[in-house]
Amino acid sequence: MNHWVLPLSASADSCDNRAGLSIEHELLRRALAGDGRAFQSLVEPHLAMLYRIASRACGDRALSEDAVQEALTIAFTRLAHYQADTSLKAFLASIAAKRARTLLRSERRRRSYEERSSATERVPEPTELLETEQSARAIRAALEAMPDKRREVALLRLDGNLSYAEIAALLGTTEGSARVLAHLAMNDLKSRLGALLGTPTRERPR
């Protein structure tokens, strides 16, 4: 497996949009020819976004890093399927979200097996948690309880910051349908968070 050692400090705002598109097309051409360095330069501006998505989905730093590394490897092998005139950010975000979810399921199965096999008692968690940690856990729990498609839309919208058009292209639907799905996902997330955190929710008017 390739290991893409890339800095998180890179920024996509370092050049003009038009010049950026021209550079992106050239990097894409070189990457498709097998140039690994060109691929690194191509994905560099999107690394922070990929880590946000993976971190939100996994809740574990090491697992998030693995998810991003594997997502980049998958993206490199599937680069021929990427359409140059579409959003590279959306292409990468979708792969990262799905890969993070896959790794999380695998890790849970592994831990479950270890817990069943081990005779030692589990170490209890601290009774007091920082508010930010509590919120992060609540969000992950809420996302995990959502249907797969809504969860993916929520991740792409919240952490990928994708537009409705980009989400629609990924899901193979219309922009209007993507807006509706995103709206449902956000409402679902708020409702589930309210239940998890014990926040009273207003009853909808009949």
Residue whose C-alpha is closest to residue 157's, from 144, 168, 141: 168
Average pLDDT rounded to a whole number, residues 63-92: 91
Q: What is the pLDDT of residue 41?
A: 93
**Same domain as 138, residue 110:** no
Q: What is the CATH number of the domain that holds 178?
A: 1.10.10.10
Separation CA 149–CA 131 (nearest Å): 28
Q: What is the pLDDT of residue 68?
A: 94
Residue 128 has φ and ψ, to the nearest 5°, of: -115, 125
Count of domains for the chain: 2
Instruction: Please say which residue of 86, 116, 146 terminates a domain.
Output: 116
Q: What is the pLDDT of residue 187?
A: 85
The b/e string for 76-85 (b: 16+ C-beta within 10 A; e otherwise) is beeeeebeee
Residue whose C-alpha is closest to residue 20's, from 10, 6, 34: 10
Instruction: Please say which residue of 85, 116, 147 terminates a domain.
Output: 116
**Same domain as 74, residue 1:** yes
Query: How many secondary structure helices (H) and strands (E) does the chain include?
Result: 9, 0
Separation CA 18–CA 123 (nearest Å): 55
Separation CA 27–CA 126 (nearest Å): 48
Counting Cβ atoms within 10 Å, is residue 33 exposed (0-12), middle (13-18) or buried (19+)? exposed
Please write the tens of the pLDDT for every residue from 185-206: 888 888 877 765 555 544 444 4
Instruction: Please say which residue of 87, 116, 145 terminates a domain.
Output: 116
Task: Tell how far CA 108 is from the center of its chain.
Answer: 18
Q: What is the pLDDT of residue 20?
A: 54
- 136 lies in a domain? yes
Copy the structure tokens of residue 95.
Answer: 């792969």
The pTM score is 0.56
Domain extent for 48: 1-116
Q: What is the pLDDT of residue 65?
A: 92
Q: Around Cβ 204, how many Cβ atoms within 10 Å?
A: 5
Amino acid letter, residue 51: Y
**Same domain as 206, residue 163:** yes
Separation CA 71–CA 76 (nearest Å): 9
Please write the tens of the pLDDT for every residue from 100-156: 988 888 877 777 666 665 544 444 444 443 456 777 777 888 888 888 888 888 888
Separation CA 124–CA 17 (nearest Å): 51
Q: What is the CATH number of the domain that holds 107?
A: 1.10.1740.10
